[in-house]
Structure 1
């Protein structure tokens, strides 16, 4: 299939997919292995040109191009976007992100500003992706900027996120740098190999936002009437933990496993859709060599994703509390007042919320979970190695995705209601 994306990750197997007993450090390529050695010393530009020439990547990019060019509808469960789910209730404006954005703009040259800024309704919102090679060039690349300018732009990101959200995003970026060091490719993967851009004019009440994306991190922030939206969000890690660094998703996974383990036999029959992340009962098109089990990744803005698993009405109060805790953790990037408002949207549709699980529920195997309602779609998936040698999914390669279905990704449902837009 491809030197990075082998068929083992998409082939059904009757045997259980057991978790590796070794540390991720036992799955490093030898330094002279051609998979990594051939790229050593390349710039990200050279690496990207090499990768996009591969036949599999060419086919993938052509498919993504078609999806990107579709008119935006939003993720739905049945192909019909529901309206009226996101009434815009203006919030008290937070001056910190606006002030940080204006300060960053003041440091840019005229040429940099032209590349950095877009109209608030620009199609480039949908151009983000998460591979380490370049698909679309949107805005500026942090590693190409003077350090003080890159720092100022990252200050916009930090000012827009909750403290815990900034820790998660910056931690994932730092882990990308750590991965580059592990495989000896710091010019391909580092903590600043990310594209950043600004949409609209930073204002306390007018619509504006920013985008940050690159390997294992893609964050879209929008402020409309003072109300913040952070979606779509893609955050991952390979490895998702490292010596001296806290695991990125430990709390989320622990809560998820607590919920899965609490299921009764009857509940488990509904919630567990497949008994393994490589269950041979999966339809032939359910596994994708790049996305594995993920359904709502890059360029999937209009995907139809039917509900699966168990409805929240079939859970106990304690289980629904655990479910809500997982959803809130997916919204961790939002500052508390905005997170509270977004969770109120979730609460309003809790009876329409579904939870599904692939894999064992006792923590002995890698797993996939999805929580889906009219106003949230959250996925967590364990993947096979790309830069590590594990050919089957493992807990040390994690991808997570958050979307706001039925049209509020990129704050679109709010923008349609805003008189300033």
Structure 2
């Protein structure tokens, strides 16, 4: 049995165990339509978020303790140990963020920063002949997995964030869940020759968020979506809470200070911007490979694409940066190549609020495999 089949088998066992533990009422919320690519019924599976909004599914709050354990067992099947620790830490950071903000944030619900508001949903029948998948998400976490023909075929979009990105621990230690994701990229840009740096740095200021945001499909020319636009509902029921969100969103954009021309300079383009790996020296290429690993190794080793990145593949990965290169300053970077889009930003809350996403622009949510599956079935 191949490693993608083995992982899919483990996922199916865990998903079935979780679903079997639920009441009929819980199961009605926890189940989603069979993944079917282009069908309208599949649109919900392709909706994803990284803000503290309704991600769709059954929340941790709505589960009993044994059900929570079963849910986290399923989540663990889609992650390496390091990936799982990062996700669990991110969930716990909600309590830290609540303290940072003075325990007052609501976002049109009882508690705006809530480690129990992470949502799990299974699409289709785990382990069956038809395609199936699962999604787990909440503030700063979005995991999207698809199984077709008993094989795990898609793990993107894969989003992990941290707020605060850096927080104190006892004895002068610091908690930085995404430290290497940030530091390796900074090491790379600071190692460039002046000529390469001029081409790699797209702008001396960073956008307020990563550029493609939570779009289901990325397209040439995509620009930053303001915070207020990255929620399931267009507006909150509570007008006062909506006004607070809009004011926060406006303040974030104003702090970034990008003009229309600046936004065009960092917009997503299907033709990669920045410098290709082929122009890096041996040491820089190793840093680039290590940086890729901070994204690819979020999933189990057997399904990580890192092993397929030979020298030719590394040549085609482009690296671009925006913002200052000094630590502690708002910044953004992008890695882009064939079937690859990685974005990072740490700009908000005084550059102490980080976002990172790994995508496959051609096949997010396994749409390429689903199209072939549908064609073969007809």
The answer, yes or no, to whether TM exceeds 0.5 is yes
Alignment of 1:95-114 (within 5 A): 95-114=9-28
**Separation in 1 of the partners of 2:6 and 2:128?**
5
SS at match of 1:220: strand
2:183 pairs with 1:254: yes
* TM-superposed deviation, 1:350: 3.1
Show the counterpart of 1:133.
53
Show the counterpart of 1:299.
215
Residues 198-229 of structure 1: CA deviation (Å, up to 9, x unaligned): 01222287632211122111111223342353
SS at match of 2:325: coil
**Separation in 2 of the partners of 1:347 and 1:328?**
15
Show the counterpart of 1:310.
275
2:339 pairs with 1:410: no
* TM-superposed deviation, 1:349: 3.7
2:57 pairs with 1:144: no
Check conservation: 1:296, 1:401, Cα contact below 8 A.
Answer: no
SS at match of 1:302: coil
CA RMSD, aligned part only?
Answer: 2.5
Alignment of 1:157-306 (within 5 A): 157-182=75-100, 183-185=102-104, 187-203=111-127, 207-224=131-148, 225-244=150-169, 246-277=175-206, 287=207, 292-304=208-220, 305-306=268-269
**Separation in 1 of the partners of 2:331 and 2:73?**
35
SS at match of 1:380: strand
Check conservation: 2:46, 2:216, Cα contact below 8 A.
Answer: no
Check conservation: 1:297, 1:401, Cα contact below 8 A.
Answer: no
Check conservation: 1:232, 1:410, Cα contact below 8 A.
Answer: yes
**Separation in 2 of the partners of 1:210 and 1:345?**
27
Residues 328-378 of structure 1: CA deviation (Å, up to 9, x unaligned): 211222100111x45516866433321101123343633211001121111
In structure 1, runs of 5+ residues without a counterpart are 1-88, 278-286, 386-392
In structure 2, runs of 5+ residues without a counterpart are 37-41, 105-109, 221-267
Show the counterpart of 1:319.
284
Structure number with the higher helix fraction is 2
**Separation in 1 of the partners of 2:310 and 2:127?**
27
TM-score, with length taken from structure 1: 0.67
**Separation in 2 of the partners of 1:100 and 1:198?**
11
Q: How many residues align?
A: 308
Say if 1:324 and 1:99 are closer, same or farther in 2 by CA, change over 3 A.
Answer: same
2:324 pairs with 1:400: no
Question: Which structure has more RCO (C-alpha within 8 Å, separation ≥ 6)?
Answer: 1
**Separation in 2 of the partners of 1:268 and 1:348?**
22
TM-score, with length taken from structure 2: 0.74
Residues 80-112 of structure 1: CA deviation (Å, up to 9, x unaligned): xxxxxxxxx984423322221111011111222
Check conservation: 1:230, 1:333, Cα contact below 8 A.
Answer: no
**Separation in 1 of the partners of 2:65 and 2:98?**
19
Show the counterpart of 2:331.
367
**Separation in 2 of the partners of 1:174 and 1:228?**
30
Moved more, 120-129 or 204-213: 204-213
